[in-house]
Structure 1
Amino acid sequence: MRKLNQIISICILLLCFSSAVNAIAAPNIVLIVADYMGYSDIEPYGAKDIRTPSLNAIAQQGIQFNSHYSSAPKCIPARASLMSGLYPRKAFKKGRGFVAERNTVLKGLKDANYRTALIGKWHLGLSEGRHPNDHGFDYFLGYNSWALSRHSHQTSDGKNGLYENKVPVERAAYLSDLFSEAAQEFIAAKSERPFFLYLSYSAGLPPYQGPDLARENWDSGWDATEAKRSEYVAMIERMDQGIAKVMQQLERQGLSDNTLLIFTYDHGGRHFANSGPLFHGFDTLWEGGIRVPLLVRWPNKLAAGKRINEPSIIMDVSASILDAAGQNKLIESTDGKSLLLKDKESFSDRAIFWKNKSMKAARKGRWKYLQDGYTQFLFDVSADPGERNNLFYSRQSKLKELSELWDAWEHSQLSD
């Protein structure tokens, strides 16, 4: 009996030790999302007139995805997909918008005992059941409108738009700096729990205002025809400087090695955005509207300097967050696949789909089917990312295959 009790005691100790190790090993997760930017407006993807040393470092220390996509070419549906892990039509509750019960990412993180913060743009509603706090964010500092003045923090119709949790607030700071500083404070807060930080910059959006703007010009920059690319450049570089401070804060806290860091856009841009070599931009299903950068860094867990060309989509970011948090069962209820998987075959032959107004598109492997109005296109986007060479006439069977896949996907999206 004594020997049996000793064995039981050892097993309990081992179980407790295993639980403690798992608790310690749970990674922090920092998700950084930029908005309304061009594909080539950061250096890892070819920027020449914009300096982004922080994003360069993330690319060098992690994985760069070269065929990554948003689920939609505009904010609200793309952000709903990111939080739900679902294609846009499935992400919304009919008549209620994007509600907390559809937020699979936050559900998984809260079930895994993460402390959570959203700092920056939300754009998914502030009414009851839609507010970030209702979704499971312990802390929210940001705004819900499409854009906010960099200096006055007013919306495009002149209303104060900044909130801390559910309370309107005023802060004297350049908007990107405000978000970067709040992110550092959240990281520095003492806690035994792992954290999830959703840092949502809006640096690519109007108003086009650099950080050193005289007060009398704080209402300027909303009209793109009266602004300059140089102001846009200053905004992006200030965001990158903020990302540097966030990374430095992780280092100071000794958290870098145990933090999964993800950077992406919600969709493509326009006006001053440089999408080269891609064509078109915001609110279209051409590559410039939906193909976006994705950088993923997790020291000692993911290969440094790796480049992946297989197609991926924003719901895969959702699945990766759930995977890192140990919430793998929830991935099955999403439309994403974890990018942390070792099995590349799970991505190699997958088809992904889009619908926007009169446009529809599908990509499978190197091929992209696109219908814009009444015109159909087929592109080999691996060889022709600028979508200049329409192969509709020469690859009819491939076009038919992708068109039929899109039809089947569309049918699957109709049920609520």
Structure 2
Amino acid sequence: MFRLAHAYFRKVVVLLLVTASGNTYAQRPHIIYIMSDDMGYGDLSCYGNKDYPTPNLDKLASQGIKFVNAYSAAPVCTPTRTAFMTGRYPARTPVGLKEPLTKSKKDSAVGLTQAYPSVASLLKAANYETALIGKWHLGFRPEHNPTKNGFDYFFGILAGAADYTAHKSGPPGQRAHDLYENDTPVYPEGYLTNLFTQKAAAFIRKPHDKPFFLAIMFNAPHWPWQGPSDKAYADTIDFTKNGSRSTYATMVKRLDEGIGELMKSLDAAHLSEQTLIIFTNDNGGERFSDNGGLSEGKMTLWEGGIRVPAFVRWPGQIKAGTVTQQAAITMDWTATILSAGGAKAPAAFPLDGIDLMPVCRGVQKTVDRTFYWKQFHGNKQQAIKDGHWKYLQDQQGEYLFDLANDQPEKNDLKERHQAIFARLKRKYADWEKTLLVAD
């Protein structure tokens, strides 16, 4: 009886908060954003993987809406994370020009700062409790810390990769401890995926007197390739060495189990129906990933480098078992989260994403989108996706693909559709003028 009364009281409080905020949705939800790292488009069994099962992520996808045309804002870690935090294309923020940010002397001064509003700072201003657990990769100095960028709580790593067992990051021979609680180094024992899961579950279970925004940024299955029972890498061994498809599968399966544990924590706290959950990935897969038959992978703007799994669950708001063709990109999740939370971006920093909740809820049909990508370093590729047409330039040349009929990008149509090819190049050139310039 007490539990029923307590649950009823909680719902009344939520409704009062919604009325006060003016939010158009039925409630102002708790929000959990989950991002995996370097997962291939086909790495989950709900996206076609047959090598191993991912039952918990499959279940989560089946309980809401699954996107089959979701994209990352970049083909590598830091720019995509910048895009999510700011809701804007990566190259509108200095740290987003780093592909990726490293611990080098040159990069050490660069990071996300309060000069650029973050999804966390905007939600915090809207009376949300905010936390980030997992990988940051947006700066190493105190002013770049998540707690200086809108998060009330942080537990995780600052670098792009860390040993899952030793919790060290950096190049061979220069590795240093990289696990923090807020801005203080901490030294718990354990496998990083397990530690992040445990911290996130504890955050969910603790009492909350206002809605929360929890960003869970798993570093799995990014290298170094280590399973829960594997030893730490020697400090002289490159993180990208060793590994196998079976080790990679173990990492993905442990991530999947962690998701299952988080969902059980939500259920135990009686928060499932009040919580909006978004799951996606930061870029295409790498060495041992399954990119679902798409061309190339991480660090390229071919589909295998930027097409990612994504799904959204919000019981009572989103119909279970839905699959959508709606094109989506990283910044859309920012816009969707802010809208659901009754928060707005300032006029000086307009969002590049759109609120996808009307599509998720089935009250709006799919919306035509235009997405842009630019790599300033490394491959120096550029691309635009306008509807089902995609223009791509890499080191070997320029291409035009019809993704409606050629998702693997095997048939270059630039000679057959010269007007479309020219139009997309002009559109891209106009967008490129709005970006910051990399050094």
- The answer to whether the superposition gives a TM-score over 0.5 is yes
Residue 100 of structure 1: aligned partner: 114
- Offset, 1:107: 2.4
**Could you say what secondary structure the match of 1:231 adopts?**
helix
Q: Distance in 1 between matches of 2:310 and 2:17?
A: 32
Deviations 1:217-275 (A, max 9, x none): 67698554532111111011001101111110000011000100010001112111111
- Written as runs of structure 1 = structure 2, the 5 A alignment for 1:105-254 is 105-156=119-170, 157-214=174-231, 222=238, 224-254=240-270
Larger CA deviation: 244-253 vs 127-136: 127-136
- CA 77–214 in structure 1, closer or farther in 2 if over 3 Å, else same: closer
The question of whether the paired residues in 2 share the 8 Å contact of 1:283 and 1:289 is answered with yes
Residue 8 of structure 1: aligned partner: none
Is 1:306 the equivalent of 2:322?
yes
Unaligned runs of 5+ in 2: 1-12, 21-25, 98-108
What is the identity percentage for the equivalent residue pairs of Structure 1 and Structure 2? 39
- Offset, 1:398: 1.0
The question of whether the paired residues in 2 share the 8 Å contact of 1:108 and 1:325 is answered with no
Deviations 1:6-52 (A, max 9, x none): xxxxxxxxxx9974554793200111100112111111211111321
Residue 106 of structure 2: aligned partner: none
Q: Distance in 1 between matches of 2:277 and 2:14?
A: 27
Q: Distance in 1 between matches of 2:146 and 2:430?
A: 34
- Offset, 1:347: 2.4
- Offset, 1:123: 0.3
Q: Distance in 1 between matches of 2:289 and 2:435?
A: 32
**Counterpart selection for 1:69 from 62, 68, 71:** 71
Q: Distance in 2 between matches of 1:214 and 1:204?
A: 16
The question of whether the paired residues in 1 share the 8 Å contact of 2:110 and 2:139 is answered with no
Unaligned runs of 5+ in 1: 1-15
Is 1:352 the equivalent of 2:354?
no
Q: Distance in 2 between matches of 1:51 and 1:17?
A: 37
Q: Distance in 2 between matches of 1:169 and 1:319?
A: 33
Residue 389 of structure 1: aligned partner: 411
Q: Distance in 1 between matches of 2:132 and 2:355?
A: 22
- Offset, 1:204: 1.4
**Could you say what secondary structure the match of 2:254 adopts?**
helix
- CA 330–295 in structure 1, closer or farther in 2 if over 3 Å, else same: farther
The question of whether the paired residues in 2 share the 8 Å contact of 1:366 and 1:381 is answered with yes
Is 1:269 the equivalent of 2:285?
yes
- CA 142–18 in structure 1, closer or farther in 2 if over 3 Å, else same: closer
**Counterpart selection for 1:338 from 329, 341, 355:** 355
Q: Distance in 2 between matches of 1:359 and 1:256?
A: 42
Residue 47 of structure 2: aligned partner: 45
Name the TM-score, length of structure 2 as normaliser: 0.86
- Written as runs of structure 1 = structure 2, the 5 A alignment for 1:374-385 is 375-385=397-407
Counterpart residue type for residue 45 of structure 1:
Y
Q: Distance in 1 between matches of 2:140 and 2:154?
A: 11
- Offset, 1:302: 1.1
Q: Distance in 2 between matches of 1:155 and 1:183?
A: 22
Deviations 1:63-89 (A, max 9, x none): 111111111111111100000000011
Q: What number of residue pairs does the alignment pair up?
A: 399
Q: Distance in 2 between matches of 1:244 and 1:301?
A: 21
Counterpart residue type for residue 319 of structure 1:
A
The question of whether the paired residues in 1 share the 8 Å contact of 2:225 and 2:247 is answered with yes
The question of whether the paired residues in 1 share the 8 Å contact of 2:120 and 2:213 is answered with no
- Offset, 1:414: 4.5
Residue 92 of structure 2: aligned partner: 90
- Offset, 1:310: 2.6
- CA 231–218 in structure 1, closer or farther in 2 if over 3 Å, else same: farther
Counterpart residue type for residue 188 of structure 1:
R
Is 1:413 the equivalent of 2:429?
no
**Could you say what secondary structure the match of 2:177 adopts?**
coil
Q: CA RMSD in A?
A: 2.4
**Could you say what secondary structure the match of 1:124 adopts?**
coil
Q: Distance in 2 between matches of 1:242 and 1:330?
A: 36
- CA 150–165 in structure 1, closer or farther in 2 if over 3 Å, else same: same
Residue 12 of structure 1: aligned partner: none
The question of whether the paired residues in 1 share the 8 Å contact of 2:83 and 2:90 is answered with yes
